[in-house]
Structure 1
Amino acid sequence: MLISLSKSWLLGGLLGFTLFISTSHQLAAQRTFTNPIKNSGPDPWVLQKGDWYYYMNTTGRNLTLWKTRNMADLATAESKIIYTPPAGKPYSRELWAPEIHSFNGKWYIYFSADSLNNLSHRVWVIENSSLDPMQGEWIMKGKIGDKGNHWEIDMSVMDYNGQLYATWSGWEGPTNGRQDIYIARLKNPWTLDGDRVKISQPDQPWEQHGDVPQEWQKNGEVPKIYVNEGPEFLRHGRNLFIVYSANACWLDYCLGLLTYKGKGDLLDPKNWAKSKEPVFSQAPENGVWAPGHGGFFRSADGKQDWMIYHANSSANDGCGNKRAPHIQAFSWNTDGSPNFGKPVPNKPIPVPAEQ
């Protein structure tokens, strides 16, 4: 009996020790990363396709594509300049906010560009039929714009129950110092179907911190520029949202939320409700200023929701290349709306869960 008890104790001890070693190994194997995931990357965008994440950001000169199996590894990911516009074209300068999408077995990239200055900014579309977007030829499909040929930037596209929709930031008139959010249906990935519809303008106090930099001021005047831009679709179950950037990138950039009420035409402004406050704001106490231009993806195991956004590391970094991409997990409120929390400190956190 004593021998039996001794054997049981010994076996139990060995089992416990084995479990301890296994658990310790798992903890040691847990990878971490620290934001930002790349030193520079304004207007970040992520497309999750199969086992890969395809990433783009504003370079200003060309369209560069990154490819990685985990977004935490972006700094060392494979990258390639996949398109450089010919000189002299109406889309040859100031290339902003590129996004890669996949529809009907083909790849599409939407980007904002101009030929002379910001006043001529429009959105352009290129197409690739290759299985791998890092390979093959990218073909210009043309300008994608409304009938009035209005100024537009930051277009994103979504397949919603078999119908393609586009949303972007534009001006109501030729120049009016205010950027609004528009939506329209698409006939195909490079052609709008019908007129644009405005579903948001910066009409809330928290969206109207629009003082321009001193060097922009003329004759002692202090103009205002009110901004809604960088709209991105976000789906969760039956719920549909548009997350957008408010205020100016040189000020307290933040994220607002438009919620589709669940019934009726997406092109009816009455079917969208705006958040009463920003849903994601800067956190100076965590060393993160002016977060904006948010995008979304899931971890490789399909269990975690993550957001990506650019942010500055100081209050005076402005709208240039100091804006760098950050990622962090987020959750959902009981009413189905996203809960982004606040920007996390630039300290080691676990990478998005891997398969």
Structure 2
Amino acid sequence: MKKNLGFTLIALFNFIVAISQSNTFQNPILPSGADPFSTYHNGYYYYTHTLGNKLMLWKTKNLANLKDAESKLIWTPPTGTMYSKEIWAPEFHFINNKWYVYFAADNGNNNNHRMYVLENASKDPFKGSWRLKGKIDTHPDRWAIDANVYTFHDQLYMVWSGWEGNTNGQQNIYIAKMKNPWTLEGARVLISQPTYTWEKQGDLDDDINPPHVNVNEGPQFLEHNDKLFIVFSANGCWTDFYNLGLLELEGGNPMNPQNWMKHQQPIFTKNEANGVYAPGHNSFFKSPDGTEDWILFHANDNAGEGCGTKRSPRMQKIEWDKDGTPILGTPVSNKTILNIPSE
């Protein structure tokens, strides 16, 4: 009897531990993966990140369980094209009952990076066929990466990071209206460029690191209570100073650059005490029950790890200030046990 009771108690303990573990997680949610992005549709999160030579999609009920998620290779570029190599920062969006994936790519020469879009008419992105709609034509035609699209007041917009001229030197944030999910309307409008010290830190110029470049990139729309923000990444990803800044729309028209106010301080930065370096290139998602807002971002575990494969995706809940401004908090340690998003 005592022996059976012992087995029963052990089984009960293991059950409690399993339940507890299933309701919590620790960062990172994958060993590697830069530029993480997810879309929630019909009860599933569809997740992706930069792989460089292909587009992969993960499907899961809970982003904390990405390691066990179903995945599918949805597109491999043909060789010998202007979009065959250096595929960066893909984003999947469900717009007008069709799926679209936006990404930046080139022919092996970074100077030729441009943005492209694929379309899938299936309501399930794991089914149907993906076909190239073409290059996103910007006016003027310049180096462009990190497209993010969002509908605000019934108008679809795109923001991205690009060069002012034909040569590198500084990355800015631009915005344009969209006629449809694959066509911009009118010329691009500059809404942010590196101006503060925290946007221009840690640039290096030697035989190993890229030359001095000031960077605004990875823009992401974020809306709360009808207030529109853009969260963007600043500094080169090769530095430990990679961080997040905030633009806030203070006027009615997103196409008027005067209506975008940049906050004077970054809103998400490295935390050496927690072992989190170069946090950035984020996206946002809501919990399954819609009550919580979360940030997805990549970061390194150690100083000096730069832009390589050691960047890993992480997630944590965000809050909102009484004035409606997002509070991203501090990047948590990999040892921190977090509750999964509310279901």
- Once the two structures are overlaid, the 10-residue window that deviates more, 204-213 or 310-319, is 204-213
Q: What amino acid does structure 1 have at the position aligned with 2:244?
A: L
Between the aligned partners of 2:203 and 2:175, the Cα distance in structure 1 is: 27
Between the aligned partners of 1:147 and 1:330, the Cα distance in structure 2 is: 36
Shift of residue 301 of structure 1? 1.8
Between the aligned partners of 1:42 and 1:274, the Cα distance in structure 2 is: 25
Q: What amino acid does structure 1 have at the position aligned with 2:27?
A: N
Q: What amino acid does structure 1 have at the position aligned with 2:152?
A: Y
Between the aligned partners of 2:63 and 2:169, the Cα distance in structure 1 is: 36
In the TM superposition, what are the counterparts of 1:113-262 in structure 2 within 5 Å?
113-212=105-204, 214-216=206-208, 223-251=211-239, 252-261=241-250
Residue matched to 1:5: none
1:306 maps to which of 281, 294, 299? 294
Between the aligned partners of 1:310 and 1:58, the Cα distance in structure 2 is: 11
Q: What amino acid does structure 2 have at the position aligned with 1:328?
A: Q
> What is the TM-score when the length of structure 1 is the normalising length?
0.89
Distance 1:333-1:92 versus aligned 2 partners, 3 A rule: same
Between the aligned partners of 2:31 and 2:211, the Cα distance in structure 1 is: 32
CA contact under 8 A between 1:96 and 1:111: conserved in structure 2? yes
Between the aligned partners of 2:141 and 2:129, the Cα distance in structure 1 is: 28
Residue matched to 1:325: 313
Query: In structure 1, the residue corresponding to 2:65 is in which secondary structure?
Result: helix
The CA deviation string for residues 38-97 of structure 1, in whole angstroms up to 9 with x for no partner, is: 001111111111211011100000000001000100111111110001101111000000
The CA deviation string for residues 232-284 of structure 1, in whole angstroms up to 9 with x for no partner, is: 000111110000000111111000000001x3321111000001010000001
The CA deviation string for residues 308-354 of structure 1, in whole angstroms up to 9 with x for no partner, is: 00000111111011100000001001110000011011124234334
Shift of residue 136 of structure 1? 1.0
Query: In structure 2, the residue corresponding to 1:113 is in which secondary structure?
Result: strand
Query: In structure 2, the residue corresponding to 1:75 is in which secondary structure?
Result: helix
Q: What amino acid does structure 2 have at the position aligned with 1:234?
A: L
Between the aligned partners of 2:86 and 2:189, the Cα distance in structure 1 is: 26
Between the aligned partners of 2:235 and 2:115, the Cα distance in structure 1 is: 22
Shift of residue 98 of structure 1? 0.1
Q: What amino acid does structure 2 have at the position aligned with 1:226?
A: N
The CA deviation string for residues 90-128 of structure 1, in whole angstroms up to 9 with x for no partner, is: 110000000000110000000000013100000000000
Residue matched to 1:41: 33
In the TM superposition, what are the counterparts of 1:270-289 in structure 2 within 5 Å?
270-289=258-277
Residue matched to 1:100: 92
The alignment yields a C-alpha RMSD, in angstroms, of: 1.8
CA contact under 8 A between 1:32 and 1:348: conserved in structure 2? no
Between the aligned partners of 1:37 and 1:241, the Cα distance in structure 2 is: 26
Q: What amino acid does structure 2 have at the position aligned with 1:123?
A: M
The CA deviation string for residues 123-179 of structure 1, in whole angstroms up to 9 with x for no partner, is: 000000112101110010000021221000000000112111000000000114100
Between the aligned partners of 2:202 and 2:338, the Cα distance in structure 1 is: 37
Between the aligned partners of 1:90 and 1:197, the Cα distance in structure 2 is: 25
Between the aligned partners of 1:265 and 1:38, the Cα distance in structure 2 is: 39
Between the aligned partners of 1:148 and 1:184, the Cα distance in structure 2 is: 12
CA contact under 8 A between 2:287 and 2:342: conserved in structure 1? yes
> What is the TM-score when the length of structure 2 is the normalising length?
0.92
CA contact under 8 A between 2:53 and 2:86: conserved in structure 1? yes
Between the aligned partners of 1:76 and 1:108, the Cα distance in structure 2 is: 25
Q: Which runs of 5+ in 1 are unaligned?
A: 1-23
Q: What amino acid does structure 2 have at the position aligned with 1:79?
A: S
Shift of residue 28 of structure 1? 4.3
CA contact under 8 A between 2:203 and 2:235: conserved in structure 1? no
* Pairs aligned (count): 328
Between the aligned partners of 1:211 and 1:28, the Cα distance in structure 2 is: 44
Between the aligned partners of 1:347 and 1:47, the Cα distance in structure 2 is: 27
Residue matched to 1:111: 103
